[in-house]
Amino acid sequence: MRFNRTTSLLICGAMVGGIVPLTAANASVKALETKDGLIYDAQAFANGMYIYDGRKADDSEAGTYFSTPKGDILIDDATGVGEKYGMNYINFKDDDILFNMMTGQAEDDSEDDKISRLENKFRHKVLDKVKRYNDVDDEDFNITEKLAVNCYSKIWYEAKAQDKDRDYTIYIDENGDYLDASEDLNIIYHDAKGNKVKLDTYEDLLDYNKENNAELSIPISKSLLVDGSNIYRAFVLVDNNRLKELTENVNMEIDSDVLENIDNRKLELLIGKGAITVYIQKISMEQGDKKDGAYLPKKVETYEANAILPTLKDFMAGEEVSARILDKNIYIVKPDTDNTEISYKKYKMTTVKDKVYGGSKKAVEEDEDFDEIKDEDMDDFSIDAHANLWVLSKGKIKKYANGELETVYKVDSSMDRLSVFDENSMIAWNTDDEIYSVLNTPTAAIDNSATEKAVPSENTSVETEAVVQTGWVKNEDGSWSYKNLDGTNALGWVNDNGNWYYLNNDGKMQTGWINDGGDWYYLNLSGEMKTGWHKDSNGKWYYLLESGKMAHDTVVNGYTIDSNGVWV
């Protein structure tokens, strides 16, 4: 399995709501208590919980801990603080440990186990059965990259497949649902005479080359980030005929290394003369039409992105760049080489006037009205789960809001590291001075019948007045709820011991048919999500996919399923 990971680049999308502006009510500066403890590294999580590598008392064992309102849990065999994985996990990749922060336990499977299953499932369910991949051998398909590394986000992987004629880029989520993103281009190209050429698909590009003796190619394609509904990637279109003319017929092949090292002025010339064009695609996570049996994205929008090329060059060079996306806007966070200053810019994905060829075009443009940050002093920065920027500088924890960095919390001036989940959950620390500060909001006890006072361990930073129940709890009305480690109700989908359950907005377990995001699922009397064939009380048969979604408008093993999901 070829699985590459970019460790120096952090690219995240907004996964949990949007930017939360500071208001008069929450703009007051609060000083956080300084505590003694050796923290080498930390990852903040919800409700004041966090992962840390170190120890909080001289006589305690150094190691990797999960800090919760009930105490600190030593994560056996884990080293460091791992990487964020999905919305609720920390992945200790080198230790083959996937730790669930909702249950406080390691999963039975590591990420590599999950990847192997996804690969095998795709080979069996798609590669061996779909016409589009008839000429792709099993060994020529591999998951190569996880999208949004070290971010709280939906879990998506990029996979590559190839046959003798072409390469395929396929995006696969954690349930095995996939999108073939190697079909749609949706770009406007202007030839050397200024003629407008519409290239909707990759096949259009190949046909154009044959019919016009052209040499257009896409030598570079990089997946960038994900948000709640889309995947974003960049690619470079090269007109090799123009490139040869501009480089005096020197055979110059554009690849990631060349693009990384080429002089910026020369690159601007190549772009200005139309030899190189950079694009960013916004790819819907929703499945759309099929191409030779393979699902394509429901929608693909393509934006010319020459304005953002310096950042993309940094990305390809593996430099530390952080980006977030919200409402068709890309926010770029760039620390300097010694991590003492930070810059912050905003780019819009919009329709603009084409100043060269006339008319309009979709493009990524810098937002001139945005109050950018330039060369701001900092000790560290963090992007939270809502995609907000936080900066630690000289004992002040600042949040970007209302066009500036506003101080929200104060800590000891020697603090030089920061990890933020949201404005109510963060940790700052200084390893050399063996001090740290934690912001958390204690959660009141949920079970009113529990009267015993919890006795926290010496590592515990939150004391509760009652035992916080976790896991499944039966409510007074006979319904069931699932309590997180902090005592709050789990909402939406919960995986417990390999079975999926659904909790409504009141935190109550559901049974029977439910509709989530436009898809129907069936939960049995125990609340477990069902897959495979299901005979309903009306005597009709339905088929539930492995993801739990009800099949419709398709054929399953020779059986026709209508638009209502019924076998006919």
Residues 215, 266 within the same domain: yes
Residue of 497, 528, 485 lying closest to 103 (CA atoms): 485
What is the tally of structural domains in the chain? Answer: 4
Alpha-carbon distance of 426 to 418, in angstroms, equals 8
pTM as predicted: 0.74
Q: Range of 167's domain?
A: 112-178
Query: In terms of domains, do 96 and 152 share one?
Result: no
Same domain, yes or no: 222 and 355: yes
Q: Is residue 361 a part of any domain in this protein?
A: yes
Please write the tens of the pLDDT for every residue from 371-401.
888 878 899 999 888 778 999 999 999 999 8
The tens digit of pLDDT for each residue in 303-323 reads: 999 888 777 777 655 566 677
Joined tokens for residue 459 = 């590592």
Same domain, 484 and 517: yes
Burial class (CB within 10 angstroms; exposed 0-12, middle 13-18, buried 19+) of 497: exposed
Q: What is the pLDDT of residues 13-35, one digit of tens each?
A: 554 444 444 444 445 789 999 99
Q: Note whether 62 and 79 are within 8 A (CB).
A: no
Cβ neighbours of residue 534 closer than 8 Å, sequence gap 6 or more? 522, 541, 542, 543, 544
Confidence bin at 199 (pLDDT 50/70/90): very high
* Domain termination site, one of 122, 150, 178: 178
Backbone angles phi, psi at 112, to 5 degrees: -60, -35
Does one domain contain both 385 and 297? no
Average pLDDT estimate for 56-79: 90
Residue 228 has pLDDT above 80, yes or no: no
Same-domain check for residues 195 and 342: yes
Q: Are residues 138 and 272 in the same domain?
A: no
- How high is the pLDDT of residue 317? 58
**Looking up tokens 């609060």, which residue turns up?**
30
Domain boundary among 423, 440, 457: 440
- Sign of the alpha-carbon dihedral angle for 20, 17, 111, 294: negative
Q: Is residue 499 located within the same domain as residue 415?
A: no
Give the pLDDT confidence of 41-67 residue by residue, as tens digits. 999 998 788 999 999 987 788 999 999
Q: Which residues pair with 522 in a beta bridge?
A: 513
Instruction: Check whether residue 354 and residue 299 sit in a common domain.
Output: yes
The verdict on 256 and 380 lying in the same domain is no
Query: Do 86 and 123 reside in the same domain of the chain?
Result: no
Both 233 and 155 in a single domain?
Answer: no
83: nearest Cα among 91, 74, 94:
91
Contact 102, 483 (CB under 8 A): no
pLDDT (mean) for 117-145? 95
Q: Does any domain span residue 7?
A: no
**Does 449 have pLDDT greater than 60?**
no
Please indicate, yes or no, if residue 445 is contained in any of the structural domains: no
Q: Say if 483 falls within a structural domain.
A: yes
For residue 515, give the CATH number of its domain.
2.10.270.10
Q: Biggest alpha carbon distance in the chain?
A: 83
Copy the structure tokens of residue 287. Answer: 């499945």
**Position 552 in a domain:** yes
Q: Is residue 566 part of a domain?
A: no
